[in-house]
Structure 1
Amino acid sequence: MSGNRDRFSTATRLRQLGERTAAHVYRSQSRRQVRRSRLTGRAALLVLVLCTLVVALAYPMRQYVSQRSEIAEQQQEADRARQRLEELRDEKARWQDPAYVEQQAREHLHYVRPGETGYTVVDPEEAEERRRAETGEADRPWYSNVWDGVDKADRPDDN
């Protein structure tokens, strides 16, 4: 009976309850640790996969973006070329018109029709600069030009 008594005594029951509780707590902690380690391993694997994807896709994405910008630039250049082509076609059509050709010849080449008198107005300052460039006075020191002017003023005119 003493074995039965021992079995039902409060101290024995408390000890058994404590052992069972400790075992239960230990098992639940080990399960949590296993879960945590699994989650940590899973999380690490997920992070590793994501990093690998980012690294693997970074270069192709950069290439894609740069190629898209190059394509946009090429399209803009093609648009500019089309616009220039249209301008040149318009200019070619204008040059096919005899009245336009005559107007350009009169304006730029100073052509006149038979029986007309052409006049050219010359800017005096521009004419003087051109004369100095032809005679080389522009390269000489200023005082040489002054003395030459004095010498010319002293000479009698050869009229």
Structure 2
Amino acid sequence: MPSARRPSGATRSGAERTDAPRPRALTSRATVLIALVVALALAYTYPLRVYLEQESQIAEMESATAAQRAEIAETAKKLAKWRDDDYLRIQARERYFYVRPGETPLLVVDDKEGAARKAAEQTPAAAPDRWYDTLWSSVEAANAEPQD
């Protein structure tokens, strides 16, 4: 049986090896399939975009609804406070300076700007005399002759 292996030193004299022809890269079936996939992808992009926009709008509306419910709950708490008689009395005292019969109202006004303006409008007091001028005027008064 002849050996299937060639010796390493053998030369190629007879038949040379040739490459087989390669098949085409894309067949007509593959081209149609790719075109169909692209057409389907393009056909689904618009509905997908609309779906995602609607999902974001729904999320925004749900958050707005939650904010409105929180505001309604806060307003309900405020309304419950105003139904309490003691709270009404406290608010009348603070906001409208309400006093009960027999009480004396006292209102403290902290108006620093008005006080500064009033101080600027007043004329300054006369400077006090120097001590030696006062002493000398008393000596002159004692030395003066009485006018009778």
Q: TM-score range by the shorter chain?
A: 0.5 to 0.7
> Could you list the runs of 4 or more consecutive aligned residues of structure 1 that deviate by over 3 angstroms after TM superposition?
126-129
TM-score (norm 2): 0.60
**Structure 1: which 5+ residue stretches go unaligned?**
1-27, 133-145, 155-159
Cα deviation for residue 120 of structure 1 reads 1.5
Identify which of 45, 53, 65 aligns with 1:66: 53
- The answer to whether the aligner puts 1:46 opposite 2:33 as a matched pair is yes
Q: Residues 105 and 53 of structure 1: is their aligned pair in 2 closer, same or farther, counting only changes over 3 Å?
A: same
RMSD over aligned Cα atoms: 3.1
**Residue in structure 2 matched with residue 123 of structure 1 by the alignment:** 110
> How many correspondences in the alignment?
108
What is the distance in 1 between the residues matched to 2:56 and 2:70? 21
User: Which shifted more, 116-125 or 62-71?
Assistant: 116-125
What is the distance in 1 between the residues matched to 2:76 and 2:52? 36
**Structure 2: which 5+ residue stretches go unaligned?**
1-19, 125-148
Q: Using the aligned pairs only, state the percent identity.
A: 38
Which structure features the higher share of helix residues? 1
- List per-residue Cα deviations over 1:95-154 (Å, max 9, x = no partner): 11111111111111211111111211111324358x79xxxxxxxxxxxxx8xx5xx628
**Residue in structure 2 matched with residue 112 of structure 1 by the alignment:** 99
What is the distance in 1 between the residues matched to 2:113 and 2:41? 70
TM-score (norm 1): 0.56
- The residue identity in structure 1 corresponding to 2:123 is A
Q: Residues 91 and 118 of structure 1: is their aligned pair in 2 closer, same or farther, counting only changes over 3 Å?
A: same
- The answer to whether the aligner puts 1:103 opposite 2:93 as a matched pair is no
Report 1:1-159 matches (<5 A): 33=23, 36=24, 39-128=26-115, 149=121, 153=123
